[in-house]
């Protein structure tokens, strides 16, 4: 028996990647609409209600409209920002904490995490929940992503010399009003009492992401060592396939972290960089922003809801 899946917004960057991952599978029947039908509200409504699982790859307002169209038992995986910090929606991060998979399986409304956010939350939540990091700690997050994270318009700005907003910059910072759309999600699921200072950047490469959270260990309750933070993260993700923590000894010899090193995977790799003499550490996370940061994570969640192996198609 196959699972009927409808990707609403399949022409976008995330939608196309999900479709490519699902198309070869015999256990999935994709409901597809022609170009004209995709713009027809009635056709979309019918497809949404006919699906066992709908994956929304849409702008926020359009995602809310799609959810409002559903009158059947269709389960929804929403890749937009619209429902990531909304009550009644399960956060689509299987590895978030023990028992979270059961919560996701029991939900018909699941929000697919953002790329910056899932990486930040993966580092913050285990430390806040264990008391190493106070909820009111003044967290700062620095990150760089490949330009594919900005969708078609940003891809064109970097790749198409004819594009109106073509850029030749090697890297630039953005969201300089400190109001990035991932902040509510990071704050809620990271367990923080107020939003972190978040400074994202875009580099002149297509995909791959590095997220870093600097910590003054001497300012934390009990003055933990970097090894204590590493042990907490390692325990939290013990046995997980897609979220791993680099061995502590390895971090002492690392010369650089390459944001493109996990491209093409559904992996999230965490590091605890440290200097014991200064009492400082930097939590770092590597991820493919189009993999576990977007389409790969959505497919992992789809597999969970179907009862398939979580790595199927990944």
pLDDT tens figures, 155-197 = 656 656 555 555 566 777 877 888 888 899 999 999 999 999 9
Cα–Cα distances in angstroms (integers) from residue 34 to residues 14, 16, 38, 40, in the given order: 18, 14, 6, 10
E strand or H helix at 210:
strand 209-216
Using CA atoms, how far apart are residues 274 and 55, in angstroms rounded to an integer? Answer: 40
Contact 129, 98 (CB under 8 A): no
pLDDT of 41: 80
Query: Tell me: the pLDDT tens digits for 257-267?
Result: 999 999 999 99
Q: Which domains does the chain have, with CATH numbers?
A: 3-112+293-306 (3.40.50.720), 115-289 (3.30.360.10)
pTM: 0.92
pLDDT of 153: 64
First CA to last CA distance, the chain: 21
Dihedral sign (CA 280, 186, 90, 300): negative
Residues 6+ apart with CB under 8 A from 64: 82
Active site residue 115: yes
- Options 7, 75, 104, 115, the catalytic residue: 115
Contact 294, 112 (CB under 8 A): yes
Query: Tell me: the pLDDT tens digits for 203-240?
Result: 888 899 999 999 999 999 999 999 999 999 999 999 99
How large is the average pLDDT for residues 237-253?
94
pLDDT of 255: 86
């Amino acid at each position: 028996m196959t699972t009927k899946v409808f990707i609403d917004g399949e022409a976008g960057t995330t939608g196309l990647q999900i479709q490519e991952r699902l198309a070869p599978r015999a256990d999935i029947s994709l409901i597809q609409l022609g170009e004209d039908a995709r713009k027809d509200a009635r056709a979309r409504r019918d497809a949404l209600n006919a699906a066992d699982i709908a994956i929304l790859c849409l702008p926020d307002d359009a995602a809310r409209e799609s959810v409002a169209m559903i009158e059947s038992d269709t389960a929804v995986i929403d890749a937009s920002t619209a429902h990531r910090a909304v009550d009644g929606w399960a956060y689509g991060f299987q590895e978030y904490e023990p028992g979270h998979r059961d919560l996701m399986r029991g939900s018909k409304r699941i929000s697919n995490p953002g790329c910056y956010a899932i990486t930040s939350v993966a580092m913050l939540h285990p430390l806040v929940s264990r008391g190493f990091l106070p909820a009111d700690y003044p967290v700062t997050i620095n990150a760089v992503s490949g330009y594919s994270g900005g969708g078609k318009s940003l891809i064109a700005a970097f790749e198409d010399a004819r594009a109106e907003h073509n850029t030749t910059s090697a890297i630039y910072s953005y969201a300089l009003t400190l109001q990035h759309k991932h902040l509510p999600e990071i704050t809620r699921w990271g367990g923080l009492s107020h939003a972190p200072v978040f400074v994202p950047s875009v580099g002149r490469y297509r995909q791959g992401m590095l997220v870093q959270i600097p910590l003054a260990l001497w300012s934390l309750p009990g003055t933990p060592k970097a090894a204590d933070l590493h042990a907490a993260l390692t325990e939290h993700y013990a046995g997980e396939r897609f979220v791993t923590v680099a061995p502590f000894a390895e971090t002492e010899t690392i010369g650089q972290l390459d944001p493109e090193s996990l491209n093409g995977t559904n992996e999230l790799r965490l590091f605890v960089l440290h200097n014991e003499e200064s009492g400082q550490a930097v939590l770092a996370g590597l991820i493919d922003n189009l993999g576990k940061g977007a389409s790969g994570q959505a497919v992992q969640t789809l597999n969970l809801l179907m009862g398939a192996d979580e790595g199927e198609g990944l």
